[in-house]
């Protein structure tokens, strides 16, 4: 028996929901309301078009401070043939900007183009109330005048229905003579988080507790979409209580988002709740992340309300809202669904994808060498930071089992082109200083995006022209030197600049008190010690292998040698959680997670810059930062770093 009713294609699920809503009479604008024309109208969607009830301006208005005249009377005026006009009707009349034009006038001479004269025809400083004026250039009819209806003509269409109001729109509506407007009623959305393990934000956490913040994210999304969200308190995993809360929410809401419990575990009640209170349409959609989505319609006392069973993982929850809820909100509000700008980009590394699912991949993006690059972020459905870091979204459709590095993909961009052009793209070894550098560079209007691919991966990215810089700390076992031999091996034909970022300390990270009494690499071979390693190609892995070889220790002797993490913080987190006894990390990673650190090695971490970017305007703020005392002082506050060589140029091909 399948654990889901159906694992159906995304398009089929969307069409099934739409058809059911049409049959229920819910695939339409929900209604409209009249609201005052004020700043609170911003972001609302017009349910009726705006037709101008007055013209703007509604009279012939002066566009300048100056003198109203009859244009034909100024003919012949020139530098050597000035003309003088007395200040009187049908000759010249002073007007301020916006004043009505006298009925007899058809032009305005700007005040700076006239000479003001007193009664004796002498120039006077009284430019607003002279006896007469003298001009030395003719003006054409309707010069410096805003004619009636120049901006808006009564009865014309100002804004169509379905338009989402911007600040400038409010002014146009006011100018066309309206004090109130008809807008689509905001859909009311109930968000019900469920789960016995959930605790509110601010709770003191114990093992097994999970902070409930999905409802916060979902509510903010709904608000951005134009809806009116209501966040309910956490409901424990009790079928009867969940049923009651859903039934209560259905009474005065247009949509229910039932968060978590959408899978098929013992306490996953969402599908059964929907079946009990109405009709279950879909349980399980061929989409990643967000596979166990539930779609249904609650039917209580003759009122039908759609319900979405939202998966509990944060990334799945947010994506489910975007895929299924945003189009529904757009229909209810009478606006177009959100359409992100799409650009072609090149993948920086290989990604795999389930063959039968539509796979949404979050990527960091940047412009390198005139090409848009997309670096896949962590795929975990619980990794909410991947949503924060994402610059765009790539859809690998069902039937595509992945893409190779360098493959062309379409990216739905969250950021503007100008933001991407100010982005410094770094691929290579992970280091905490890069996060610090990213913060400092925001002050110089730069974004630094780091993709953790290991030191060797960074050099390969430089070779492919996929990075502005790469972080590396590769030890040559024959010479004891860092990075130079690897640059010659991996990128011999790419002129580069090699600059030291910092010296740093590597060692073993263990839990507080070092319960297993781990002291050096020899202890890694003990049967009671579980190691957690860095990925193949990382500088830390190379460093470990070098010293294991020096000690005549085999990787086969180490439990967990093949278990990998892509960052120092990932290794430290594995130790902090008890998943591993120890791992090789930089001291700052141990400090960050309040773990004990056993120092073993000193190393040098460098930045590799292709010469075509080293002297570019994009990277100028970064090199300025490397020389800044305050940046070095900030690095020194992190454990295990030495800034005496920071900024030193090691190689400049």
Question: What's the CATH code of the domain at 99?
Answer: 2.170.190.11
Q: Do residues 24 and 36 share a domain?
A: no
Map residue 298 onto helix, strand or coil: strand
The pLDDT assigned to 264 comes to 57
Which residues of the chain have a pLDDT value below 50? 1-3
Residue 589 lies inside a defined structural domain of this protein: yes
Question: Where would I find the beta strands (DSSP E) of 337-457?
Answer: 342-347, 351-352, 358-368, 371-376, 392-396, 402-403, 408-413, 423-428, 447-452
68 and 95 inside one domain = yes
Give CA–CA dist 376/345, Å, rounded. Answer: 12
What pLDDT, on the 0 to 100 scale, is given for residue 2?
Answer: 41
Residues 412, 465, single domain; the answer is no
Does one domain contain both 241 and 296? yes
Residue at a domain's end among 305, 333, 361: 333
Cα separations (Å) of 220 from 223, 230, 259, 412, 566?
5, 10, 15, 21, 31
On whether the pTM is more than 0.85, the answer is no
One domain for residues 43 and 80: no
What pairing do the DSSP bridges indicate for beta strands 278-283 and 83-86?
A: unpaired
Check whether residue 159 and residue 207 sit in a common domain. Answer: no
CATH code of the domain covering residue 306: 3.40.980.10
Q: What is the dihedral of CA 465, 442, 380, 363, to 10 degrees?
A: -40
Coil, helix or strand for 584? strand
Domain, as residue range, for 201 = 10-28+186-333
Whole-number Å distance between alpha carbons of 490 and 483 = 10
Could you report the per-residue pLDDT of 536-590, keeping only the tens digit for each? 988 999 999 999 999 999 999 999 999 999 889 999 999 999 999 999 999 999 9
Over its C-alpha atoms, the chain yields an Rg (Å, rounded) of 34
pLDDT for position 382: 57
Instruction: Count, in order, helices (H) and strands (E) of the chain.
Output: 18, 38
> Is the residue at 1 inside a domain?
no
């Amino acid at each position: 028996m399948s654990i889901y009713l159906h694992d159906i294609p995304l398009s089929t699920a969307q069409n099934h929901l739409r058809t059911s809503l049409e049959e229920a009479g819910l695939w339409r604008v929900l209604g409209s309301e009249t609201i005052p024309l004020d700043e609170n109208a911003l972001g609302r969607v017009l349910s009726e078009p705006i037709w101008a009830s007055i013209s703007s301006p509604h009279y012939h208005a002066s566009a300048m401070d100056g003198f109203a005249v009859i244009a034909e009377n100024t003919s012949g005026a020139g530098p050597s043939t000035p003309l003088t006009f007395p200040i009187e009707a049908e000759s010249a009349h002073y007007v301020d900007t916006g004043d009505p034009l006298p009925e007899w006038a058809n032009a305005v001479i700007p005040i700076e183009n006239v000479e003001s004269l007193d009664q004796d025809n002498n120039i006077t400083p009284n430019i607003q109330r002279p006896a007469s004026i003298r001009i030395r250039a003719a003006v054409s009819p309707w010069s410096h005048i805003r004619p009636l209806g120049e901006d808006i003509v009564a009865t014309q269409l100002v804004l169509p229905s379905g338009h989402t109001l911007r600040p400038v729109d409010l002014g146009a509506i006011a100018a066309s003579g309206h004090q109130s407007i008809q807008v689509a009623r905001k859909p009311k959305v109930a968000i019900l988080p469920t789960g016995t393990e959930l605790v509110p934000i601010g709770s003191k956490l114990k093992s097994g507790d999970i902070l409930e913040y999905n409802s916060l994210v979902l509510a903010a999304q709904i608000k951005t979409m134009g809806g009116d969200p209501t966040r309910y308190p956490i409901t424990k995993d009790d079928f009867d209580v969940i049923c009651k809360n859903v039934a209560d929410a259905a009474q005065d809401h247009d949509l229910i988002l039932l968060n978590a419990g959408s899978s098929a575990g013992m306490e996953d009640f969402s599908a059964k709740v929907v079946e009990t209170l109405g009709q279950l349409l879909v349980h399980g959609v061929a989409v990643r992340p967000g596979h166990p989505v539930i779609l249904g319609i609650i039917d209580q006392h003759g009122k039908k309300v759609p319900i979405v069973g939202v998966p509990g993982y944060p990334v799945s929850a947010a994506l489910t809202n975007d895929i299924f809820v945003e189009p529904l909100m757009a229909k209810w509000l009478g606006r177009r669904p959100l359409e992100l700008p799409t650009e072609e980009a090149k993948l920086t590394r290989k990604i795999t994808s389930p063959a039968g699912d539509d796979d949404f991949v979050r990527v960091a993006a940047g412009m390198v060498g005139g090409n848009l690059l997309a670096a896949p972020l962590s795929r975990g459905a619980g990794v909410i930071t991947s949503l924060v870091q994402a610059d765009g979204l790539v859809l690998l459709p069902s039937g595509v089992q992945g893409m190779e590095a360098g493959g062309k993909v379409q990216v739905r961009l969250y950021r503007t082109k100008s933001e991407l052009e100010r982005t410094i793209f770094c691929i290579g070894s992970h280091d905490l200083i890069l996060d610090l550098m990213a913060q400092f560079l925001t002050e110089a209007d730069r974004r630094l995006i780091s993709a953790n691919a290991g030191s060797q991966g960074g050099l390969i990215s430089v070779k492919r022209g996929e990075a502005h810089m790469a972080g590396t700390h590769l030890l040559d076992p024959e010479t004891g030197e860092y990075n130079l031999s690897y640059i010659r091996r991996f990128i011999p034909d790419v002129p580069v600049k090699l600059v030291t970022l910092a010296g740093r300390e590597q060692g073993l990270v263990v839990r507080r008190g070092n319960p297993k009494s781990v002291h050096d690499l020899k202890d890694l071979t003990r049967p009671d010690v579980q190691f957690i390693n860095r990925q193949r190609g990382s500088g830390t892995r190379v460093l470990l292998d070098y010293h294991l070889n020096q000690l005549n220790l085999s990787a086969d002797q180490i439990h967990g040698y093949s278990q990998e993490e892509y960052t120092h913080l990932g290794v430290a987190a594995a130790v902090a959680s008890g998943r591993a006894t120890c791992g090789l990390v930089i001291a700052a990673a141990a400090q960050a997670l309040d773990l004990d650190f056993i120092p073993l090695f000193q190393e040098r971490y460098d930045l590799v810059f292709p010469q075509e970017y080293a002297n570019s305007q994009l990277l100028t703020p970064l090199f300025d930062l490397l020389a800044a005392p305050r940046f070095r002082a900030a690095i020194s506050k992190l454990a295990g770093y030495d800034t005496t060589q920071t900024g030193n140029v090691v190689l400049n091909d």
